[in-house]
Amino acid sequence: MKLCRFNEGRLGLVLGEEVADVTAALRLLPARSYPFPDHDLLVANLDAIGAEAARLAAAGAERHALGSLRLLSPVANPGKVVAAPVNYLKHLAEAREDKGIHHQNQILEIQRVGMFLKATSSVEGPSAGVKIARPDRRNDHEIELAVVIGKTGRNIAAGDALGHVAGYCIGLDMTVRGPEERSMRKSPDGYTVLGPWLTTPDELADPGQLELAITVNGEIRQRANTRDLIIKVPELIEFASSFYTLKPGDVLLTGTPEGVSQVYPGDLMVADIEGLGRMAVAIHAD
């Protein structure tokens, strides 16, 4: 199942080049009032919502051309975004060699440096584009496989980890290069792009065998395969959950391969991950 969010918070079931408007399924969500839960309600109720979405689509829900919609982040309210630094060997080498990337920061292996958090306020969908927050700095694209957690867990064993996954999407971990902490440089508004939609695990044979690529203005910049991740998806979930309770809607960004490069206002990025779709994201001036 491929579920998207579009326009003014509508819910869609992606069917090829069309989207069935299944917003009516959201009435199954439990009514909540302040204080709101620290997880994403839709993801926490994905089985029920997905079944109702399929029923509505089969019953003749209104359809739209995919290209006519403004796609939002498939996760509206992630409780946290946990990200892996340098999780591909060739990107580790690239980061250590390029002063424009490392800025005298010591680039350590992920096993030693661990993971970091991005502000949830940095999450946007592809249609918003990315506004360059610090034009005085180098601002880079990083394409990453994004994993959306579906089930609460702490100290999740790698062997059980994929059972905690609600789905996958493309993630762009946009980055201001410089000397500050990663959590600051990677958290300006809009610097975490998620999209184009959430693909549930039944549609994906193996998250550890996915081609990923990003072009800027039609020129290929990053191309890799998730088989080259240093710490794979199950072990990342085990690692993250040894520090944090993972909850429905939490997002794990799994790290970027080599080929990160600067983007400028006016550029158009097109990101593609095998089985998860393709999304175009424009770069704007702030």
> Which residue lies nearer to Mn ion by CB, 175 or 241?
175
> Which residue lies nearer to Mn ion by CB, 173 or 272?
173
| DSSP secondary structure letter of residue 76 | S
| Least gap, CB of 273 to Mn ion (angstroms) | 14
Q: Which positions from 67 to 96 touch Mn ion by CB under 5 A, shown as an x/- string?
A: ------------------------------
Q: How many CB atoms lie within 10 A of CB 262?
A: 15
Exactly one of 71, 256, 260, 279 binds Mn ion (CB under 5 A); that residue is: 256
Q: How far apart are CA 46 and CA 67, in angstroms?
A: 25
Q: How many residues bind Mn ion (CB under 5 A)?
A: 3
| Least gap, CB of 276 to Mn ion (angstroms) | 17
- Nearest residue to Mn ion, by Cβ distance, number only: 173
> Which residue lies nearer to Mn ion by CB, 52 or 272?
272
> Which residue lies nearer to Mn ion by CB, 11 or 83?
83
> Which residue lies nearer to Mn ion by CB, 241 or 256?
256
| Least gap, CB of 271 to Mn ion (angstroms) | 13
Q: Is 132:282 a contact under the CB 8 Å cutoff?
A: no
Q: How far apart are CA 252 and CA 264, in angstroms?
A: 26
Angle at alpha carbon of residue 101, lines to 278 and 209, rounded to 5°:
35
User: 200-205: long-range contacts at Cβ-Cβ below 8 A with a sequence spacing of 24 or more?
Assistant: 200/1, 200/2, 200/3, 200/46, 200/50, 200/166, 200/167, 201/162, 201/165, 201/166, 201/167, 201/168, 202/1, 203/1, 203/2, 203/275, 204/168, 204/275, 204/276, 205/275
Exactly one of 52, 142, 238, 272 binds Mn ion (CB under 5 A); that residue is: 142
> Which residue lies nearer to Mn ion by CB, 52 or 142?
142
Q: How many CB atoms lie within 10 A of CB 232?
A: 18
Which residues between 164 and 193 bind Mn ion (CB under 5 A)?
Answer: 173
Residues in contact with Mn ion by CB under 5 A are 142, 173, 256
